[in-house]
Structure 1
Amino acid sequence: MSTTVAAEAPVEQQGRMTHRQILEALSGMMLAMFVAFLSSTVVSNALPTIITDLHGTQSQYTWVVAATLLASTVSTPIWGKFADLFSKKLLLQLAIVVFIVGSMLAGQAHSPNGLIMFRVLQGLGLGGLQALVQIAMAAMISPRERGRYSGFLGSTMAVATVGGPLIGGLLVDTSWLGWRWCFYVGVPFAAIALVLLQRTLHLPVTKRKVSIDYLGASFLTAGVTGLLIWVTLAGSSFGWVSAETLWFVGGSVLALIAFVITETRAAEPIVPLRLFRERTTTLAVIASVAVGVAMFGSSVFLGQYLQISRGYSPTAAGLLTVPMVGGMLVSSTISGILISRYGRWKRYLLSGSILVVGGFALLSALDHRTPMVLLGVFLFILGVGIGMTMQNLVLAVQNTVAAADLGAASSAVAFFRSLGGTIGVSVLGAVLSSHVTELIREGLAGTPYAAAASSGSGSVGLADFNEAPPALRALIQVSYGDATGRIFLISSLVAVVAVVAVVFIREVALRTQSGEQRLQTERTPADDVDAELAALEAEVAEVAPTRA
């Protein structure tokens, strides 16, 4: 009887799936990822309009983005740990529902602070989507074949990155819709993704005793949040060297130390510290932080540069970012195919990280008069580098760690990349705000506006941009244009860290087994005994009520 059942069991339950079954399962996951990336790109391009409409400041502009990144950052390892304990399919669907609720509420916001709060909820769902799609792919597909399918993921990212700014621009430029639809537009896609996942994604569920490290999650959230709030407020609301700085930095450091201690003692740590004994994982995490700081921290302000400084509409600003997305699409697809064919991945990872440095270095020359053709070339180079770097860092780690740690390891890379992005948005936003303010004050020296500007803070320039006199508007545009190059310069210097980390990563031949196949291979006799005991306990629980 058992032989018949085993023979008739679906191949996905045995860790083996055909090409068609993988494509069917990927359809729902790719749509979910499309929704996640669409939400980011739609909003980033519409943010200048949103913040000026809500009369927000440059600091609030930064936090609308940073809040989502922070929430997705701190939740990513939690989702990853859950994926090692619960149904990956159910968790994906739950992440989509959380994302939908957050999006609907964000569309109803009537103040910058309210929008920031709802973006936190949106970020919780986004963190789950980013981590769980990678984890599910690792469970279904071997590292050697994953490059072949990573091209689909890269294409999805590219389409969302191109479509997002265009859709966001059209919504903002359409008077009868407006910017609120930037949050609503992803909801129908998310609902379709829910249905597709229910019909196409079938992965085995590991049932065992669960121990969730809630204390570690709390310390991690407190530590990261405290540091980011300090970076955002220091220099404007209080001094870099002040009692407030001492409280924020001291409290955050203590929370992070408590997090590390908790992780060494937790039965099921959110971020298993044993992962960092492997050199590849440690170096990939360092590279991911650097890439996150550079990529998220600078690209967020690209739309602001194009709209505030260069005067383009949101739709036109979206079209001007197409070269970067085209570079991502081409490089991620081609490198994925070549990796699957030849099994070599480090050369693409190293080339990509070098191109990221080069792209940011070229963009550091940006000012308010840079020709758009040159900007397009620089963005294409940057896009090619990002396309070869992001997915391959995850691949390198997944190919190294044990199958039982795939979820935690994949989410760790995503976590540190998002953490880098959150830090980048906060730090570079503070740098941009401070430099813009300096340039505006210099430009207003000796004019009637000088006294008002000297009493302002980093908010000068954005909050009253629409109501400013023509001369002041022109100065604000020039200041934003000339200040943007500085954040790209900082990004290029940070990206050098990624190159150094990648150089020291040891290339390991790609495995030919999927995550589920490896999990079955790596099972110990003790695991089998535990599974049999769990099955017996379940049978006893079912029979007991009947006998009673």
Structure 2
Amino acid sequence: MASIQTQSETRAATGDAPMSHRQIMEALSGLLLGLFVAILSSTIVSNALPRILADIGGGQSAYTWVVTASLLAVTATTPIWGKLSDLFSKKLLIQLALVIYVIGSVVAGFATSPGMLIGCRLVQGVGAGGLSALTQVIMAAMISPRQRGRYSGYLGATFAVATVGGPLIGGVIVDSTLGWRWCFYVGVPFAVIALIVLQKTLHLPVVKRKVRIDWTGAFFITAAVSLLMIWVSLGGQSYAWNSWQSYVMVPAALLLGAIFLFVESRAAEPIVPLRLFRNATIALTSLASLFVGVAMFAGTVFLSQYFQLARGETPTMSGVLTIPLIVGLFLASMFSGRIITRTGRWKGFLVAGGLLVTAGAATLGMIRADTPYAEVAVYMALLGLGIGMMMQNLVLAVQNQVSVADLGAASSLVTFFRSLGGAIGVTALGAILGNRVTHFVTQGLAALHVKNAAGADGGIPDVATLPAPIRGVVENAYGHGVGDVFLYAAPFALIAFVLVLFIKEVALNNRSGLQQTPAGTGRSAVDAVEPAAREK
């Protein structure tokens, strides 16, 4: 009968034995496809955004918020998804995340205004947050920390392919007769396929636990993060940094954060278990992830503007020209993962990664509109190598330190802080870019004795339609502005490098989350879980 499992399958399902390589790869195929969809949702619009906003209206602020809205939702919901994975079926949750993503994508394709598009990006972000967090959690449940490095390379490869493929696909769509709306529709088939694959290949036991959801904590962490990001996004544009709005928003965000900490300290099942931060490794990796996120998202977001608006490239070519960044990330993820599995040593990659991210951001801070592409390519490769060495290994360091009961919450902490750093970084750096571009354009136009032109009002210009002298001014302004953005990002990368120096290397565990599941439950492996057939 189809419902009868072999002895080896039953033992793997209940945690008595590790899953075979074939079982892991079958389940991983659906997870990686879901992760591909999550990353694609953000990268596919990066090269298309100038064209999208030119169609529906919107300037640099709208550009930043279309990107930030998704990051905000990912950031605010990541710890919630992580905690829910400790309480409910991980398979059901990741399928729910895919459904939410599909809904947001379909509606985004009908957007008629920047506000509507930003709202849809929020919905997409909720789904993408679940996909990003749950992929890490489910991998930790299936694979031991020692072996996880090998499979984490596949995560890095997926991230690299989606990161380079997204802009390329988006650029081709925008440059074709399909139109930019298909940038949102194209991910839907991948999500549907991921749903089907996960249903057929992912069979995890469901731990029987008393469920208590910390909705109060979820509300306050969402409110605190959202208010902080609104302040950062609008500061320097809608109001001065030194204004009454800042004096209201910042203390209010801090107050909401303090209330969140108070709620978490008394919650039965906190969204973020504060006791985890007593572990020095978890505290240091979380902070390092926060600062790495700034440089990481700056590279994927602002380089597309650099190539299109400073060098006059098409959206498609903009994606092609960022390949050195992605190749560096791909190679670093794959090779570092395999070496970690072979040797069990991981700290060296964090240190080297932190150094390379700092070097990449600092050197990209020197680019201008006329910088030879060969130089830019080398700088991008440095940044990509650093991100590839740090991104998955920070998660690995945390997962190696916690029990299976906290696996979801702990894994989501690194993703949360990385997304928080990226969201705040993109918002703040986007505001800086807008101000710097306006300054350089105004300065350049004054030299030409021109009072008003595209780009001087904060809007995103179509450089191909501008007169040659004014086009030169705008391209130089964006070249210099994006360079300044990376200069601001470099110190954050340096802080991440210093933090990882203090992380103590701990030998990697050889037991997966599934093998640890019965521990502490007071029941046998079979009694501690429901039959795997219930998740089929």
- With structure 2 as the length reference, what TM-score do the two structures score? 0.94
Which of 494, 507, 522 in structure 2 is aligned with 1:496?
Answer: 494
Q: Supply the AA of the counterpart residue of 1:402.
A: S
Q: Find out whether 1:24 has 2:26 as its counterpart.
A: yes
Q: Supply the AA of the counterpart residue of 1:160.
A: A
CA contact (8 A) 2:442 2:456 kept: no
Give the corresponding residue for 2:296.
Answer: 295
SS of match in other structure, 2:396: helix
Q: Find out whether 1:523 has 2:524 as its counterpart.
A: no
Give the corresponding residue for 1:542.
Answer: none
CA contact (8 A) 1:162 1:321 kept: yes
Which of 144, 169, 172 in structure 1 is aligned with 2:171?
Answer: 169
Q: Supply the AA of the counterpart residue of 1:316.
A: M
Flag the 1:186–1:459 CA change in 2: closer, same or farther, 3 A: farther
Flag the 1:141–1:432 CA change in 2: closer, same or farther, 3 A: same
Which of 127, 130, 147 in structure 2 is aligned with 1:128?
Answer: 130
Give the corresponding residue for 1:359.
Answer: 360
Give the corresponding residue for 2:39.
Answer: 37
User: Post-superposition shift, 1:297?
Assistant: 2.8
Give the corresponding residue for 2:472.
Answer: 474
SS of match in other structure, 1:84: helix
User: Post-superposition shift, 1:472?
Assistant: 2.7
Flag the 1:410–1:439 CA change in 2: closer, same or farther, 3 A: same
Flag the 1:5–1:154 CA change in 2: closer, same or farther, 3 A: closer
Q: Find out whether 1:84 has 2:68 as its counterpart.
A: no
Cα distance per residue 1:448-503 (max 9 Å; x no partner):
643x47xx998524167676544333311110111111111111111011111100
Give the corresponding residue for 1:350.
Answer: 351
Flag the 1:6–1:404 CA change in 2: closer, same or farther, 3 A: farther
Which structure: larger Rg?
Answer: 1
RMSD value, Cα? 2.1
Which of 95, 98, 111 in structure 1 is aligned with 2:97?
Answer: 95
Give the corresponding residue for 1:538.
Answer: none
Q: Supply the AA of the counterpart residue of 1:153.
A: L
Q: Distance in 2 between matches of 1:476 and 1:393?
A: 39
Q: Find out whether 1:113 has 2:115 as its counterpart.
A: yes
The aligned runs of 1:44-443 (5 Å cut-off) are 44-174=46-176, 176-443=177-444
CA contact (8 A) 1:298 1:487 kept: no
Q: Distance in 1 between matches of 2:515 and 2:504?
A: 24
Pairs aligned (count):
524
Q: Distance in 2 between matches of 1:402 and 1:459?
A: 54
Deviates more, 1:362-371 or 1:246-255: 246-255
Cα distance per residue 1:246-266 (max 9 Å; x no partner):
221121111111111010011
Gaps of 5+ in 1: 536-548
CA contact (8 A) 1:324 1:383 kept: yes
Gaps of 5+ in 2: 531-536
User: Post-superposition shift, 1:358?
Assistant: 0.7
User: Post-superposition shift, 1:227?
Assistant: 1.2
Cα distance per residue 1:343-402 (max 9 Å; x no partner):
000011111111111111111110010111111111111111111110000000000111
Deviates more, 1:223-232 or 1:337-346: 223-232
CA contact (8 A) 1:12 1:203 kept: no
SS of match in other structure, 1:259: helix
Q: Distance in 2 between matches of 1:335 and 1:5?
A: 36
User: Post-superposition shift, 1:444?
Assistant: 2.1
Q: Supply the AA of the counterpart residue of 2:494.
A: V
CA contact (8 A) 2:441 2:456 kept: no
Cα distance per residue 1:92-132 (max 9 Å; x no partner):
00000000111111111011111001000000000000000
CA contact (8 A) 1:103 1:118 kept: yes
Give the corresponding residue for 2:534.
Answer: none
| Identity level (%) | 54
User: Post-superposition shift, 1:53?
Assistant: 2.1
Q: Distance in 2 between matches of 1:443 and 1:461?
A: 16
Cα distance per residue 1:318-355 (max 9 Å; x no partner):
11011111111111111111000010000111111111
Give the corresponding residue for 1:11.
Answer: 11
User: Post-superposition shift, 1:279?
Assistant: 0.3
Q: Supply the AA of the counterpart residue of 1:378.
A: Y
Q: Distance in 1 between matches of 2:449 and 2:223?
A: 45
Flag the 1:458–1:297 CA change in 2: closer, same or farther, 3 A: farther
User: Post-superposition shift, 1:221?
Assistant: 1.1
User: Post-superposition shift, 1:245?
Assistant: 1.5
User: Post-superposition shift, 1:411?
Assistant: 0.5
Give the corresponding residue for 1:513.
Answer: 511
Flag the 1:8–1:483 CA change in 2: closer, same or farther, 3 A: closer
Q: Distance in 1 between matches of 2:317 and 2:455?
A: 30
SS of match in other structure, 2:371: coil
CA contact (8 A) 2:340 2:346 kept: yes
User: Post-superposition shift, 1:528?
Assistant: 7.3
Flag the 1:458–1:410 CA change in 2: closer, same or farther, 3 A: farther
SS of match in other structure, 1:43: coil
CA contact (8 A) 2:312 2:463 kept: no
Q: Distance in 2 between matches of 1:446 and 1:142?
A: 63
Q: Distance in 2 between matches of 1:457 and 1:225?
A: 29
User: Post-superposition shift, 1:187?
Assistant: 0.7
CA contact (8 A) 1:59 1:458 kept: no
Q: Supply the AA of the counterpart residue of 1:155.
A: A
CA contact (8 A) 1:58 1:463 kept: no
SS of match in other structure, 1:236: coil
Deviates more, 1:54-63 or 1:237-246: 237-246
Q: Distance in 2 between matches of 1:459 and 1:250?
A: 31
Q: Distance in 2 between matches of 1:398 and 1:284?
A: 11
Give the corresponding residue for 2:458.
Answer: 460
CA contact (8 A) 1:58 1:459 kept: no
Q: Distance in 2 between matches of 1:383 and 1:468?
A: 33
Give the corresponding residue for 1:544.
Answer: none
CA contact (8 A) 1:354 1:385 kept: yes
